[in-house]
Amino acid sequence: MKDSVQRLSISSLLGVFNLGGLYLVAYGFLFGMSVWISFFGGVIAYKTLPRAQFSALQHKTFPIYFVLSLGLGSTLLGLWTLNHPAVQTHYADPLVADVAQAYVLVFVLLMQGVNYFVVGPLTSKTMFERMKLEKEEGKSYNEAGVSAQMKALNARFGMLHGLSSLANLGAVLTLGYHGLWIGNFGLKA
Protein backbone atom coordinates (compact mmCIF):
# COMPACT_ATOMS: atom_id res chain seq x y z
CA MET A 1 0.00 0.00 0.00
CA LYS A 2 1.37 3.37 -1.04
CA ASP A 3 1.81 6.08 1.59
CA SER A 4 -1.11 8.49 1.04
CA VAL A 5 0.12 11.10 3.50
CA GLN A 6 0.83 14.42 1.83
CA ARG A 7 4.25 15.82 2.69
CA LEU A 8 4.70 19.58 2.84
CA SER A 9 7.37 21.27 0.80
CA ILE A 10 8.15 24.82 -0.21
CA SER A 11 6.55 24.05 -3.57
CA SER A 12 3.33 22.72 -2.03
CA LEU A 13 3.12 25.64 0.40
CA LEU A 14 3.56 28.19 -2.37
CA GLY A 15 1.29 26.23 -4.69
CA VAL A 16 -1.79 27.40 -2.78
CA PHE A 17 -1.37 30.85 -4.35
CA ASN A 18 -3.33 30.20 -7.54
CA LEU A 19 -6.62 31.23 -9.16
CA GLY A 20 -8.57 28.49 -7.37
CA GLY A 21 -7.25 29.66 -4.02
CA LEU A 22 -8.03 33.27 -4.91
CA TYR A 23 -11.54 32.24 -5.93
CA LEU A 24 -12.24 30.50 -2.62
CA VAL A 25 -10.84 33.38 -0.54
CA ALA A 26 -12.89 35.94 -2.53
CA TYR A 27 -16.01 33.78 -2.25
CA GLY A 28 -15.51 33.26 1.48
CA PHE A 29 -15.01 36.99 2.02
CA LEU A 30 -18.11 37.89 0.01
CA PHE A 31 -20.38 35.27 1.55
CA GLY A 32 -19.14 35.92 5.09
CA MET A 33 -19.51 39.68 4.72
CA SER A 34 -23.00 39.27 3.24
CA VAL A 35 -24.19 37.02 6.05
CA TRP A 36 -22.69 39.29 8.72
CA ILE A 37 -24.13 42.51 7.30
CA SER A 38 -27.53 40.96 6.57
CA PHE A 39 -28.18 38.97 9.72
CA PHE A 40 -25.90 40.14 12.51
CA GLY A 41 -24.22 43.54 12.17
CA GLY A 42 -27.39 45.45 11.33
CA VAL A 43 -29.44 43.74 14.03
CA ILE A 44 -26.79 44.43 16.68
CA ALA A 45 -26.51 48.07 15.59
CA TYR A 46 -30.30 48.50 15.54
CA LYS A 47 -30.63 47.13 19.08
CA THR A 48 -27.64 49.10 20.41
CA LEU A 49 -27.63 52.53 18.80
CA PRO A 50 -30.08 55.42 18.98
CA ARG A 51 -32.08 55.68 15.73
CA ALA A 52 -30.19 58.69 14.35
CA GLN A 53 -26.82 57.00 14.90
CA PHE A 54 -28.11 53.71 13.52
CA SER A 55 -29.36 55.51 10.38
CA ALA A 56 -26.05 57.32 9.96
CA LEU A 57 -24.13 54.04 10.35
CA GLN A 58 -26.30 52.23 7.80
CA HIS A 59 -26.01 55.16 5.40
CA LYS A 60 -22.20 54.85 5.52
CA THR A 61 -21.97 51.05 5.72
CA PHE A 62 -24.27 49.90 2.93
CA PRO A 63 -22.62 51.71 0.00
CA ILE A 64 -19.28 50.17 0.99
CA TYR A 65 -20.90 46.77 1.36
CA PHE A 66 -22.53 47.01 -2.07
CA VAL A 67 -19.33 48.22 -3.77
CA LEU A 68 -17.36 45.36 -2.19
CA SER A 69 -20.11 42.93 -3.24
CA LEU A 70 -20.00 44.22 -6.80
CA GLY A 71 -16.20 44.08 -6.94
CA LEU A 72 -15.90 40.62 -5.41
CA GLY A 73 -18.88 39.29 -7.39
CA SER A 74 -17.35 40.58 -10.62
CA THR A 75 -14.05 38.96 -9.71
CA LEU A 76 -15.80 35.65 -9.04
CA LEU A 77 -17.71 35.84 -12.32
CA GLY A 78 -14.52 36.64 -14.24
CA LEU A 79 -12.58 33.82 -12.61
CA TRP A 80 -15.47 31.38 -13.06
CA THR A 81 -15.75 32.25 -16.75
CA LEU A 82 -11.98 32.00 -17.21
CA ASN A 83 -11.85 28.57 -15.55
CA HIS A 84 -15.02 27.22 -17.21
CA PRO A 85 -14.82 27.57 -21.02
CA ALA A 86 -18.35 26.18 -21.40
CA VAL A 87 -19.64 29.50 -20.07
CA GLN A 88 -18.32 31.26 -23.17
CA THR A 89 -19.43 28.63 -25.67
CA HIS A 90 -22.85 27.81 -24.13
CA TYR A 91 -23.70 31.14 -22.45
CA ALA A 92 -27.33 30.99 -23.65
CA ASP A 93 -27.98 27.52 -22.21
CA PRO A 94 -28.69 27.74 -18.46
CA LEU A 95 -29.00 23.95 -18.28
CA VAL A 96 -25.23 23.67 -18.71
CA ALA A 97 -24.06 23.46 -15.09
CA ASP A 98 -21.11 25.86 -15.46
CA VAL A 99 -23.33 28.37 -17.25
CA ALA A 100 -25.98 28.09 -14.53
CA GLN A 101 -23.34 28.97 -11.92
CA ALA A 102 -22.30 31.97 -13.99
CA TYR A 103 -25.96 33.05 -14.03
CA VAL A 104 -26.01 32.66 -10.25
CA LEU A 105 -23.11 35.11 -10.00
CA VAL A 106 -24.76 37.49 -12.48
CA PHE A 107 -27.90 37.42 -10.31
CA VAL A 108 -25.84 38.44 -7.27
CA LEU A 109 -24.35 41.31 -9.27
CA LEU A 110 -27.79 42.43 -10.46
CA MET A 111 -29.28 42.40 -6.96
CA GLN A 112 -26.39 44.27 -5.38
CA GLY A 113 -26.18 46.65 -8.35
CA VAL A 114 -29.87 47.53 -8.06
CA ASN A 115 -29.31 48.17 -4.36
CA TYR A 116 -26.22 50.31 -4.90
CA PHE A 117 -27.33 52.34 -7.90
CA VAL A 118 -31.10 52.63 -7.45
CA VAL A 119 -32.80 51.46 -4.27
CA GLY A 120 -30.09 52.47 -1.79
CA PRO A 121 -29.88 56.11 -2.89
CA LEU A 122 -33.68 56.40 -2.99
CA THR A 123 -33.93 54.89 0.50
CA SER A 124 -31.29 57.28 1.87
CA LYS A 125 -32.98 60.27 0.24
CA THR A 126 -36.33 59.27 1.77
CA MET A 127 -34.72 58.71 5.17
CA PHE A 128 -33.18 62.19 5.16
CA GLU A 129 -36.45 63.77 3.98
CA ARG A 130 -38.20 62.05 6.86
CA MET A 131 -35.60 63.25 9.38
CA LYS A 132 -35.94 66.81 8.10
CA LEU A 133 -39.73 66.64 8.36
CA GLU A 134 -39.45 65.26 11.90
CA LYS A 135 -37.50 68.38 12.90
CA GLU A 136 -39.99 70.67 11.15
CA GLU A 137 -43.02 68.97 12.72
CA GLY A 138 -41.40 68.35 16.10
CA LYS A 139 -42.63 64.77 16.03
CA SER A 140 -40.99 61.41 15.48
CA TYR A 141 -42.00 59.63 12.30
CA ASN A 142 -43.89 56.97 14.25
CA GLU A 143 -45.88 59.19 16.62
CA ALA A 144 -49.64 59.41 16.42
CA GLY A 145 -50.97 62.37 14.50
CA VAL A 146 -48.09 62.82 12.03
CA SER A 147 -48.82 64.73 8.84
CA ALA A 148 -50.00 63.17 5.61
CA GLN A 149 -46.59 64.03 4.15
CA MET A 150 -44.89 62.04 6.92
CA LYS A 151 -47.24 59.11 6.37
CA ALA A 152 -46.35 59.16 2.67
CA LEU A 153 -42.62 59.25 3.48
CA ASN A 154 -43.09 56.36 5.93
CA ALA A 155 -44.86 54.29 3.27
CA ARG A 156 -42.19 55.10 0.69
CA PHE A 157 -39.36 54.30 3.11
CA GLY A 158 -41.00 51.00 4.08
CA MET A 159 -41.44 49.98 0.44
CA LEU A 160 -37.86 50.91 -0.49
CA HIS A 161 -36.40 49.25 2.60
CA GLY A 162 -38.40 46.11 1.80
CA LEU A 163 -37.17 46.06 -1.80
CA SER A 164 -33.59 46.53 -0.66
CA SER A 165 -33.92 43.76 1.90
CA LEU A 166 -35.43 41.37 -0.65
CA ALA A 167 -32.71 42.08 -3.21
CA ASN A 168 -30.02 41.61 -0.58
CA LEU A 169 -31.62 38.41 0.75
CA GLY A 170 -31.81 37.08 -2.81
CA ALA A 171 -28.09 37.77 -3.26
CA VAL A 172 -27.16 36.12 0.06
CA LEU A 173 -29.24 33.01 -0.60
CA THR A 174 -27.86 32.75 -4.12
CA LEU A 175 -24.30 33.03 -2.78
CA GLY A 176 -25.12 30.27 -0.29
CA TYR A 177 -26.31 28.07 -3.15
CA HIS A 178 -23.11 28.78 -5.09
CA GLY A 179 -21.09 27.79 -2.03
CA LEU A 180 -22.98 24.51 -1.81
CA TRP A 181 -22.30 23.96 -5.51
CA ILE A 182 -18.55 24.51 -5.25
CA GLY A 183 -18.46 22.46 -2.05
CA ASN A 184 -20.04 19.52 -3.85
CA PHE A 185 -18.59 19.83 -7.35
CA GLY A 186 -15.44 21.90 -6.88
CA LEU A 187 -14.01 24.67 -8.99
CA LYS A 188 -12.65 22.72 -11.94
CA ALA A 189 -14.35 22.66 -15.32
The percent of residues above 90 in pLDDT, for the chain, comes to 93
Torsion sign, CA atoms 133, 135, 141, 145: negative
pLDDT in tens, 133-169: 999 999 999 999 999 999 999 999 999 999 999 999 9
d(CA 128, CA 12): 54
Q: Domain locations in the chain? A: 10-185
What pLDDT score does 188 carry? 85
Quickly state the pLDDT bin for 189 (edges 50, 70, 90).
low
Q: For residue range 52-82, list pLDDT tens digits in order.
A: 999 999 999 999 999 999 999 999 999 999 9
Is 187 in contact with 83 (CB distance < 8 Å)? yes
CB atoms within 10 A of CB 187: 17
> How far apart (Å, rounded) are the C-alpha atoms in residues 92 and 107?
15
Quickly state the pLDDT bin for 1 (edges 50, 70, 90).
low
